[in-house]
Structure 1
Amino acid sequence: MSIPSKTNPFYSPIKGRGTANNLAGRFAITLVEVDENDENLALLETSSPKTEVRYERAKSIISRNNSPDVPFRQSINPYKGCEHGCIYCFARPTHAYLDLSPGLDFETRLVAKTNAAYLFEEELAHPNYRCQPIALGINTDAYQPIEKELKITRELLQIALAHHQPISLITKSTLILRDVDILAQMAEKKLVHVAISVTTLDNDLKRILEPRTASGTTRLKVIQTLREAGVPVSVLAAPVIPFINDHELEEIVAASAKVGAQSINYIMLRLPHEVATLFADWLQQHYPDRADHVLQRIMDMRGGKLYDSRFGKRMTGEGVFADLINQRFHVARRKYGLDGNRLSFLDCRQFKVPPKEGDQMPLF
């Protein structure tokens, strides 16, 4: 895969959004292009877009995978799309399945699964269900801004607590602290792990890289607050981007240890499908002096391509630069005492099958 072409001049950055580019998804049949000679129309297409939420009655809620690269086999995503607007998000291409753009649509045209809690309890009660930890909010953040009003994630946690279903959460939002009451109760029963994603401690970079998220410093405070409540917390330094944030790796490890994180891991930048074009566009807008250099280094780690989907390689990359990042990370992790996984195991032995309609109530 060659380095994508230079950015379209009409795709000027939009404050509070990760991208202004609304490129067509890979399954699109009809393409709509703005006339480059009509500057007023082009600006109108990308000016101050509002967030729209579509409400969906999902058919199922627990997804399953067999990937050797991830430590879970079951997951739940209460939302499609994510208002956080992280330009690098590997989930952006999923919006193409909705006939929407993985670009601006992904962060402005969201889907909420309003019956998620009902389906969750129903699937836990299914005779074939076997309790395993469930990862909550993997494709898109379960605590993105619309969760504040909709509270779908909180409902899912309440059901998990009621039936002793173990949950692992990953987020970069302070909204998780709203649910510390539930999380603390689950932690007492070894039913929850939380991972906080810390991408950068540079707030200027954060504003353009992941615009509608909490600052790195605020995320460290979230870690500390959760730990003080007895909730097990790990950190994910992700993604590591060559010549953009890789120089912060040791600082993130040190800061995470200081606030009480119990373990830490990292993931190299991944650019599947449309994300490659979106990220290249972002580089040209914000770092034109080093854009080609960044993309070339990514290709050096991905066998000459911008993305390598092979298991065992897609999370870390390969080659000299990838090896250097790996060595730096492990040295820092040992130095700050995070080289061992000090998270307690998630206990599936306590699982209680939800009562089905028609079941007799216990006799007293």
Structure 2
Amino acid sequence: MKEESIIKGRGAQMNVRNKFLEHSHEMRDDFLEYCRLEGEEADKNKTSYIEVFPKTIVNKVTSPDVGMTYSMNPYQGCEHGCIYCYARNSHEYWGYGAGLDFERKILVKKDAPELLEKKLRSRNWEAKTIVLSGNTDCYQPAEQQYKITRECLKIFLKYKHPVGIITKNALVLRDLDVLRELALLKLVSANISITSLSEETRRVLEPRTATIKRRLKTVEELSLNGIPVNVMIAPIIPGINSHEVLSLAKAARDHGALSIAFTVVRLNGAIGQIFTDWIRKTMPDRADKVLHQIEACHGGHLNDSNYVTRMRGEGKIAEQLHNMMRIAKQRYFSDKQFPEIDGSLYQPQKELLKQQKSGQMRLF
């Protein structure tokens, strides 16, 4: 495919039909030809921020293989545009598409700090680590303008409540002042996603994320400031970044990370179609090889919804990846230990209410 036909700065190269909607929108060839003749842009490829007003912000995670109990997402959709992102399908619940819509229509939850404080003040809430970015990145470009994540971190500090962060954006360093205070109380940990050491790969795989150099610097700066960092080599995509496991692990260790983790790519729901279209346009010479190797990790399919195998994969290729990760951990992290987050400093509201009462009123 010619270079000019690639939508630059975006991961997805198409929109796909929302399975929940009766009607769909398509760009017809006659309209495109009209725009060409008139010298007009058929698609301006702009990002729009749309304010939404959910009633709650903290989500209970019931999936047994995700590794978190609660999450919250200040934004829905993600301008980073990572082509493999499992969160793309969630945009369909909001009435949008999992392809370009996911990257260009960003839903902003401006009330998130107030909703979080309401949750932490609720009578029966007990401290469990709440992870920022369980679905979409809390430090994506919208955060520069809205600063919702920063305000939420202040709420966690105010109530001495444990919080985890997952991001691939160096913008997290803006909040070092708050993060340092949380770290002194053992209330925070960070997960930085780094999927490749190649800028060429990063640009096509994750077009609007921080550069690899800046991400490694972020790991280093967080570590130097006492924030424990885990590097997520996730997902590993056979034929694209699977050969980088050892070099990624070494780079993570050299920049101060205390641990590494990984997942095997799975292309669930609409992502299979989006990814297939993307790789045939951006990496046509290896598209079939990559797609077949992904299928080999999931019983002959691009997707796997089984909790046991969906993020671990199965088969010979997945086994090789697990062996490589085992070697990486033994070689670079055998002397490291990731600290536990302390949830004991948070005082449940029902206990505070009891302390405020006296005499027989404490019975109620």
What residue is the counterpart of 1:342 in the other structure?
337
Note the C-alpha offset of 1:297.
1.1
Gaps of 5+ in 1: 1-6
Counterparts of 2:35 and 2:287 in 1: how far apart (Å)? 24
Range 38-47 or range 223-232, more displaced = 38-47
Q: CA deviation at 1:205?
A: 1.1
Q: Post-superposition shift, 1:47?
A: 3.5
What one-letter code is carried by the residue in structure 2 that aligns with 1:68?
P
Higher deviation after alignment, 292-301 or 37-46: 37-46
Please state how far the C-alpha of 1:41 moved relative to its aligned partner: 5.5
Q: Are the equivalent residues in 1 in contact too, given 2:48–2:106 (CA < 8 A)?
A: yes
Structure 2 residues not aligned, in runs of 5+: 358-364
Supply the distance in 2 between the matched residues of 1:334 and 1:326 (Cα, whole angstroms): 12
Supply the distance in 1 between the matched residues of 2:149 and 2:42 (Cα, whole angstroms).
31
Q: Does structure 1 residue 281 correspond to structure 2 residue 274? A: no
Q: How does 1:64-75 map to 2 (within 5 A)?
A: 64-75=60-71
Match of 1:181 among 165, 171, 177: 177
Who is 1:79 aligned against?
75
Change (3 A) 1:86 1:41: farther
Tell me if structure 2 keeps the 8 A contact 1:194–1:232.
yes
- Aligned residue among 108, 114, 117 for 1:118: 114
Residue 233 of structure 1 pairs with residue 229 of structure 2: yes
Structure with bigger helix share is 2
Matched, 1:129 2:145: no
Determine whether 1:12 maps to 2:5: yes
CA distance, structure 2, for counterparts of residue 46 and residue 132 of structure 1: 48
Aligned-pair CA distance for 1:10:
12
Contact kept, 8 Å, 2:81 with 2:206, in 1: the verdict is yes
- What TM-score results when the alignment is normalised by the length of structure 1? 0.92
Determine helix, strand or coil for the equivalent of 1:117.
helix
CA distance in 2 between counterparts of 1:325 and 1:67 reads: 23
Amino acid at match of 2:289: H
Could you tell me which residue of structure 2 aligns to residue 36 of structure 1?
Answer: 29
Cα deviation, 1:278-337, whole Å, max 9, x if unaligned, reads 10011100111211111111111111111111112111100000000100111122111x
User: AA paired with 2:9?
Assistant: G
Residues in 2 aligned to 1:130 and 1:11: alpha-carbon distance in whole angstroms: 54
Q: In structure 1, what is the Cα distance between the partners aligned to 2:33 and 2:197?
A: 37
For residues 198-230 of structure 1, give each alpha carbon's deviation from its aligned partner in whole angstroms, at most 9, with x where no partner exists. 011111111111111011121111000011111
Tell me how far 1:111 sits from its aligned partner: 0.5
Q: 2:86 aligns with which of 75, 81, 90?
A: 90
Instruction: Indicate if the aligned counterparts of 2:13 and 2:277 stay in contact, CA closer than 8 A.
Output: no
The residue correspondences of 1:230-269 to structure 2 (distance < 5 A) are 230-269=226-265
Residues 163 and 188 in structure 2, CA contact (< 8 A), matched pair in contact too: yes
% same residue: 39
| Matching residue's letter, 2:25 | V
Cα RMSD over matched residues? Answer: 2.4
Aligned to 1:63, the other structure's residue is in SS state strand
Q: Which residue of 2 aligns with 1:321?
A: 317
Could you list the per-position Cα deviations for residues 7-49 of structure 1 after superposition, in whole angstroms to 9, with x for gaps in the alignment?
9x99932111112301112212102222235543587776441
TM-score by length of 2: 0.92
Is the CA contact (8 Å cut-off) linking 2:126 and 2:348 kept in structure 1? Answer: no
For the pair 1:167 / 2:168, whether they are aligned, the reply is no
- Distance (Å, rounded) in 2 between the aligned partners of 1:361 and 1:57: 33
Say whether residues 1:26 and 2:25 are aligned partners. Answer: no
The one-letter amino acid of 1:255's match is A
Pairwise mapping of residues 286-301 of structure 1 onto structure 2 (< 5 A)? 286-301=282-297
Q: Distance in 2 between matches of 1:348 and 1:126?
A: 16
Secondary structure of residue in 1 paired with 2:221: helix
Distance 1:232 1:354 in 2: 28
Does the 8 Å contact 1:13/1:19 carry over to 2? no
The change in CA–CA distance for 1:124 and 1:320 in structure 2 (over 3 A counts) is: same
